[in-house]
Amino acid sequence: MKYKVKRKQQVSKGCFICGTENHESLKTKFYELENNELMSISTPTPTHQSYPDRMHGGIISAILDEVIGRSIMILEPGAWGVTVELNIKYKKPVPLSKQVKATARITRNTRLIFEGTGEILLEDGTVAATAYAKYVKMPIEKLIQDTGGDMSLMIDDETPSPEEVEY
Ligand SMILES: CCCCCCCC/C=C\CCCCCCCC(=O)SCCNC(=O)CCNC(=O)[C@H](O)C(C)(C)COP(=O)(O)OP(=O)(O)OC[C@H]1O[C@@H](n2cnc3c(N)ncnc32)[C@H](O)[C@@H]1OP(=O)(O)O
């Protein structure tokens, strides 16, 4: 199915997944879709390798953690959480030489916690990994208090986004 991109999410400067100023980052971009799912597109490099030409499983889990954790912003803009549970199933190797897509959605949302599921998709649409994750909600002010509450750490994604995506 094809889905229209409704909104680009902000990215950060320092994050390992989306950080624009973190040299080891996957420079992942996040697109909110018309079906209320979130799609991420990551650009892995040899830094993210496990066996030759195979993405490290820990990196795969980090992508899934972030794409599920950010899905809450579709339902509740301004909501943030910290991961308290993450379960991954690795089904196919993920090559390093190509962009990696992931999709995610929220499956449960309460005052204190939220849960969601996500998948890593290969170029031909094959599901390479699946995930379930749970988060405890936490105000952003508390999450960044050690950095002096610097909200400029989150910035607009200025890169062009696709108008629609297919999966
Ligand atoms: C300007 C901004 C710049 C920001 C840049 C950001 C860039 C990224 C952008 C966007 C990202 C969005 C995506 C995020 C994805 C990635 C997130 C991560 O990687 S987070 C790192 C890994 N996870 C942790 O570090 C948590 C570590 N754990 C803890 O800190 C504590 O365990 C904590 C705070 C969760 C709870 O601990 P307690 O000491 O406060 O209290 P207790 O008694 O253990 O629990 C209190 C309540 O918490 C819930 N709770 C805790 N653990 C739970 C669990 N496993 N399941 C369900 N509920 C749980 C329960 O409701 C509990 O309440 P009852 O006591 O049961 O009444």
Q: Is residue 165 assigned to a domain?
A: no
Going by CA atoms, what residue is nearest to atom 32 of ligand 1? 84
Q: Is residue 164 assigned to a domain?
A: no
Q: Is residue 87 assigned to a domain?
A: yes
User: What is the complex's ipTM, to 2 decimals?
Assistant: 0.90
Q: Is residue 25 assigned to a domain?
A: yes
Q: Is residue 134 assigned to a domain?
A: yes
Q: Is the dihedral of CA 89, 92, 95, 101 positive or negative?
A: negative
Q: Is residue 79 assigned to a domain?
A: yes
Say if CB 144 and CB 150 are below 8 A apart: yes
CATH number at residue 58: 3.10.129.10
Q: Which residues line ligand 1 (CB under 6 A)?
A: 12, 15, 18, 65-66, 69-70, 82-85, 112-113, 134, 136, 140, 144, 151, 153-154
Domain that holds residue 59: 2-154
Q: Is residue 159 assigned to a domain?
A: no
Each residue's pLDDT tens digit, 35-54: 999 999 998 888 999 999 89
pTM of the model: 0.95
Q: Is residue 19 assigned to a domain?
A: yes
How many CB atoms neighbour CB 28 within 10 A?
A: 26
User: For residue 30, how far is its CA from the centre of ligand 1 (angstroms)?
Assistant: 22
Going by CA atoms, what residue is nearest to atom 22 of ligand 1? 83
User: For residue 43, how far is its CA from the centre of ligand 1 (angstroms)?
Assistant: 27
Residue 72: its pLDDT value, please? 98
Each residue's pLDDT tens digit, 118-160: 999 999 999 999 999 999 999 999 998 888 888 888 999 999 9
User: For residue 56, how far is its CA from the centre of ligand 1 (angstroms)?
Assistant: 25
If one counts the domains in the chain, the total is 1
Q: Would you state the torsion angle of the CA atoms of residues 44, 45, 51, 55, taken in this order, to the nearest 10 degrees?
A: -10
